[in-house]
């Protein structure tokens, strides 16, 4: 009895007359009632009427001989408790009911929490049902458990029809793999929530672009109960982004192709962008100029007084008006060269009309402008196929990666190499091979989507940029389409040959975190296809270390070859354009064993440049060439030798003293040695480079500007270069017969060079028609397979012996 009195539960014994026969002390604690005063009283007298009516049915059921439960409110005066009651009948020895034992547990706090929970759930489902965005509760198996009106309207389904669906039924097929992967991560607990963009299929079949926010609800045991999905229709945004992207691409293409320089700044006149013409005219790359003061990059002077001219963009931003440059003004290049210009400046406004920057547009008013613009176009595009070439690719990749990162999307590169294309050239000749290359380029171009861009990278290699992708599988699908399209290209007269391709795929940001890595990894993946037998595609994986291993192998083997004197120089004749007589040779490095290439120069020279080995390699080439010159002078005749010098070698501090020492040791006289330097090498370093070039010329060394015509500065600043010879780039020579514009440019280059007293060498001459054109145009020297392939010193001596005197 003592135990019952101290129990926390309210305990009472009630007889069949509904009177209390026992009441414990809990009555006092709960309701302030004296238990002794309750004994003998009827329940309806002691209890609140409403409480009595609530519990009466359960009590009577118990007095009828059945155990029963009750949950509800008990009250006495103003004091109330929410209880869970248990009634058990009390039987005598004959099994007759003589009363009931009632035990009540206080669950007031639990009941209050349950009320709050129910109210919260009601508020949630009210908000769920009437939310402006689509919402759904989804079972772990993917079945919709509950959907709101907004989601039904978004996808064109009734509530009942949508609840009969699985989310997989509505997902665009191209997004299914990504969605499945995210769902698995949510189920296994590796993700607690995620956001993504995907495509659903509307009931009428059209695509709905949505943004999903997905979170999970788990039970006490940690098992996934259901998923809460918020769905926002972004179809309009997606359409506008696509339109904006296309407009931006159009603007980029326009700025890259127009003949005027365009430069933009922020309101404080710090440079934000330069187009290619502005880069060429100022000498600053867009990357170098960005963030610098306008006056540092775009320096203006009065052509007559030489006084500094205020930049019109400052006035345009201050006045919020268009301002034109007045008077004769010259733009000073970063390296000191000057170009007469005309320009105008204007403020840039945001949608509210506020000035957020400025734009300056100018053009070269010198007589060279039109010719220079045509040359820039030719150097940025492949003359054979009309495709953009590799010069434009790095910037385009970086732009695509930047936009993909901003919009949480992907972009990809496909690196395509035509398989065994040399067999095509062998079967059809070089002209037939060119025709096939044009057909391949056209076929690939026809396979592209609207935003994709194809580049001819080098030789028989192409790079395709896919700037906008929602899923990596789009790149795979494109690769398969390209392969099928290549297979359908017919080769005239050679049915046994077929155009095949190997394609490497690299996806941003999955496979690479930047433009350089994206291109490198796509190339690595393409090489894996080659190794595996060609004719297919592979996507880059981190396990593809073979390419890097090969580069390391080339570097180490090259070091060994250099140390063991396993390299050789071959010499290609340069002949007089009129007489055909040999007037010199170009020394070309070869790495061969038993007459076969170990690696071709296009493979090992880039490795040497990247590793810094090019300096030591260049020293070896220069030394061997000087020694060969001495040997020919002693035993044959004087043959001037032209040697290529890399930018790294030229800028090295020991280059000049080593050159002088070699010339002394080999007794090299004036005009017997010529150094071929690129325009980039000569332009770099400003006055210091110019002084070094003059010092070299003082030793009787001739200087040749290699690959002339590949930069804007070549025409405007040719007279500033201390060079003796111009070598016209083979890309111009290749098309002088077939392309009228190229022919006109080539004639102009030759005429300008001759007017400045320069010797002109055309390299890459392969046909009699090309030679006749160049000879008639006034070209001095010709070089190419038409007159002789690169050959060893011994072969050149035999070639000379067989040639007419």
Pick the closest to residue 554 from 719, 109, 546 (CA basis).
546
- Compute CA 141 distance to the chain's CA centroid, rounded to the nearest angstrom: 36
Are the CB atoms for 667 and 635 separated by under 8 Å?
no
Rounded Cα–Cα distance for residues 11 and 4 (Å):
7
Q: Which helix (H) or strand (E) holds 50?
A: helix 49-63
Sign of CA dihedral 610, 611, 616, 621: negative
CA proximity to 428, closest of 533, 508, 499, 523: 499
pLDDT score at 255: 63
Confidence (pLDDT) at 674: 96
Count CB-CB contacts under 10 A for residue 769: 12
d(CA 177, CA 619): 56
pLDDT at 225: 87
3-state secondary structure 286-309: HHHHCCCEHHHHCEEEECCCCCEC
Which residues in 492-526 are b (16+ Cβ under 10 Å) and which e?
A: eeeeebbbbbbbbbbbbeebbeebebbbbbbbbbb
Provide the pLDDT for residue 632.
Answer: 94
- CA 433 to centroid of chain Cα atoms: 32
Measured distance CA(27)–CA(106) in Å, rounded:
12
pLDDT at 307: 85
Q: Which residues contact 740 (CB under 8 A, 6 or more apart)?
A: none
CA-CA distance, 229 to 171, in Å (whole number)? 14
Query: How many C-beta neighbours within 10 Å does residue 184 have?
Result: 11
Inter-residue contact 718 to 753 (CB < 8 Å): yes
Which residues 6+ apart lie within 8 Å of 125 measured at CB?
Answer: none
Which pLDDT does position 548 carry in this prediction? 63
Q: Contact 672/584 with Cβ under 8 angstroms?
A: no
Tally Cβ neighbours within 10 Å of residue 293: 14
Q: What are phi and psi of 194, to 5 degrees?
A: -160, 160
Cα dihedral: 454, 457, 461, 466 (round 10): -30
DSSP string, 627-676: HHHHHHHHHT----EEEE--HHHHHSTTHHHHHHHHHHHTT--TTSEEEE
Preceding amide of 323 cis, omega within 30: no
Q: Which of 778, 665, 744 is nearest to 375 (CA)?
A: 744
pTM assigned to the model: 0.47
As a whole number of angstroms, the distance between CA 317 and CA 704 comes to 46
Which pLDDT does position 426 carry in this prediction?
60
- The whole-angstrom separation of Cα 10 and Cα 12 is 7
- The answer to whether 733 and 784 have CB atoms below 8 angstroms apart is yes
User: What integer pLDDT is reported at residue 710 of this predicted model?
Assistant: 56
Going by their DSSP bridges, the two strands 702-708 and 673-678 should be labelled as parallel
The CA distance from 498 to 440, in Å, is 12
**β-bridge pairing 781-783 and 759-763:** parallel
For residue 745, give every residue at least 6 positions away whose Cβ sits within 8 Å of its Cβ, in sequence order, or none.
371, 374, 375, 378, 709, 732
Q: Which of 526, 561, 533 is nearest to 547 (CA)?
A: 526
Element (H, E) at 379: helix 369-380
Residue 773 CA to its chain's centroid (Å): 44
Output the pLDDT for position 712. Answer: 46
Neighbours of 404 (CB within 10 A): 20
Distance CA 370, CA 741 (A): 11
Q: Please measure the distance between the N-terminal and C-terminal CA atoms of the chain and give it in whole angstroms.
A: 139
- Give the mean pLDDT per block of 10 residues along the chain (805 residues): 69 89 86 84 83 85 89 82 90 89 87 76 72 86 89 91 91 88 88 89 90 87 87 83 64 64 91 87 87 91 83 87 81 81 84 85 68 64 83 84 83 90 69 84 88 87 90 88 85 66 91 86 85 82 70 84 89 93 94 79 81 89 95 92 90 90 93 88 71 90 81 56 85 86 86 87 92 93 92 92 72
Residue 406 burial (10 A CB sphere; 0-12, 13-18, 19+) = exposed
With H, G, I as helix, E, B as strand and everything else as coil, classify residue 368: coil
User: Which residues lie below 8 Å from residue 667, measured CB to CB, with a gap of 6+?
Assistant: 630, 633
Radius of gyration of the chain (CA): 43
Token pair 């700025």 in the structure block, residue = 255
Phi and psi torsions of 213, nearest 5°: -120, 115
CA distance 142 to 135: 14
């Amino acid at each position: 009895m003592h135990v019952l009195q101290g129990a926390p539960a309210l305990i009472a014994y009630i007889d069949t007359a509904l009177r209390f026969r026992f009441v414990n002390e809990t009555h006092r604690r709960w309701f302030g009632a004296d238990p002794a005063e309750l004994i003998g009283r009827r329940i309806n007298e002691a209890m609140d009427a409403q409480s009595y009516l609530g519990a009466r049915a359960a009590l009577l059921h118990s007095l009828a001989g059945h155990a029963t439960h009750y949950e509800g409110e008990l009250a006495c005066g103003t004091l109330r408790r929410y209880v869970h009651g248990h009634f058990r009948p009390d039987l005598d020895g004959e099994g007759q009911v003589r009363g009931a034992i009632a035990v009540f547990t206080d669950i007031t706090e639990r009941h209050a929490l349950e009320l709050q929970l129910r109210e919260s759930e009601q508020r949630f489902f009210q908000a769920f049902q009437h939310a402006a965005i689509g919402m759904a509760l989804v079972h772990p198996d993917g079945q919709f458990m509950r959907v709101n009106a907004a989601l039904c309207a978004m996808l064109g389904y009734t509530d009942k029809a949508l609840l009969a669906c699985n989310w997989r039924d509505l997902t665009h097929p191209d997004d299914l793999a990504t969605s499945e992967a995210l769902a698995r991560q949510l189920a296994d607990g590796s993700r607690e929530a995620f956001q993504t963009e995907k495509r659903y299929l509307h009931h009428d079949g059209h695509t709905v672009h949505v943004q999903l926010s997905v979170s999970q609800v788990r039970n006490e045991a940690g098992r996934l109960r259901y998923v809460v999905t918020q769905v926002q229709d972004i179809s309009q945004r997606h359409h506008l982004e696509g339109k904006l992207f296309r407009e931006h691409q159009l603007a980029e293409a326009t700025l890259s192709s127009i003949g005027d320089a365009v430069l933009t700044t922020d309101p404080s006149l710090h440079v934000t962008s330069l187009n290619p013409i502005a880069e060429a005219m100022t000498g600053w790359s867009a990357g170098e100029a960005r963030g610098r003061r306008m006056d540092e990059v775009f320096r203006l002077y009065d052509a007559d007084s030489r006084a500094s001219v205020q930049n019109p963009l400052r006035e345009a931003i201050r006045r919020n008006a268009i301002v034109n440059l007045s008077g004769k003004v010259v733009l000073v290049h970063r390296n000191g060269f000057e170009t007469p210009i005309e320009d105008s400046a204007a403020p840039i406004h945001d949608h509210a009309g506020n000035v957020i920057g400025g734009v300056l547009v100018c053009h070269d008013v010198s007589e060279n402008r039109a010719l220079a613009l045509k040359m820039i176009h030719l150097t940025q595009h492949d003359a054979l196929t009309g495709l953009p070439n590799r010069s434009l690719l790095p910037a385009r990749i970086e732009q695509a990666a930047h936009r993909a990162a901003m919009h949480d999307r992907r972009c990809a590169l496909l690196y395509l190499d035509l398989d065994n294309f040399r067999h095509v050239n062998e079967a059809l000749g070089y002209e037939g091979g060119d025709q096939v290359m044009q057909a391949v380029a056209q076929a690939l171009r026809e396979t592209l989507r609207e935003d994709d861009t194809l580049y001819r990278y080098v030789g028989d290699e192409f790079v395709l940029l896919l700037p906008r992708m929602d899923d990596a599988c789009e790149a795979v699908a494109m690769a398969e389409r390209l392969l099928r399209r290549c297979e359908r290209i017919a080769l005239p007269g050679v049915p046994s040959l077929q155009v095949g391709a190997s394609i490497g795929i690299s996806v941003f940001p999955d496979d690479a975190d930047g433009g350089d890595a994206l291109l490198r990894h796509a190339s690595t993946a393409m090489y894996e296809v080659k190794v595996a037998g060609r004719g297919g595609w592979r996507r880059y994986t981190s396990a593809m270390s073979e390419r890097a291993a090969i580069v390391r192998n080339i570097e180490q083997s090259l070091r060994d070859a250099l140390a063991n004197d396993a390299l050789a120089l071959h010499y290609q004749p340069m002949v007089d354009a009129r007489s055909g007589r040999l007037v010199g040779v170009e020394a070309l490095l070869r790495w061969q064993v038993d007459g076969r290439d170990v690696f071709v120069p296009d493979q090992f020279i880039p490795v040497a440049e990247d590793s810094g080995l090019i300096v030591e390699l260049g020293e070896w080439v220069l030394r061997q060439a000087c020694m060969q010159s001495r040997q020919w002078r002693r035993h044959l005749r004087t043959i001037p030798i032209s040697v290529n010098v890399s930018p790294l070698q030229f800028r090295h501090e020991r280059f000049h003293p080593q050159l002088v020492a070699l010339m002394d040791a080999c007794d090299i006289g004036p005009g017997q040695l010529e150094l071929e330097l690129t325009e980039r090498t000569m332009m770099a370093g400003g006055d210091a480079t110019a002084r070094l070039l003059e010092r070299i010329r003082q030793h009787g060394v001739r200087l040749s500007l290699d690959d002339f015509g590949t930069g804007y500065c070549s025409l405007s600043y040719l007279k500033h270069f201390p060079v003796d010879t111009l070598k016209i780039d083979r890309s111009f020579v290749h098309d002088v017969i077939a392309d009228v514009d190229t022919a006109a440019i080539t004639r102009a280059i030759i005429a300008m060079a001759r007017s400045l007293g320069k010797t002109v060498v055309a390299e890459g001459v392969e046909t009699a028609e090309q030679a006749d054109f160049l000879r008639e145009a006034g070209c001095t020297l010709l070089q190419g397979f038409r007159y002789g392939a690169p050959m060893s010193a011994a072969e050149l001596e035999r070639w000379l012996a067989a040639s007419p005197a």
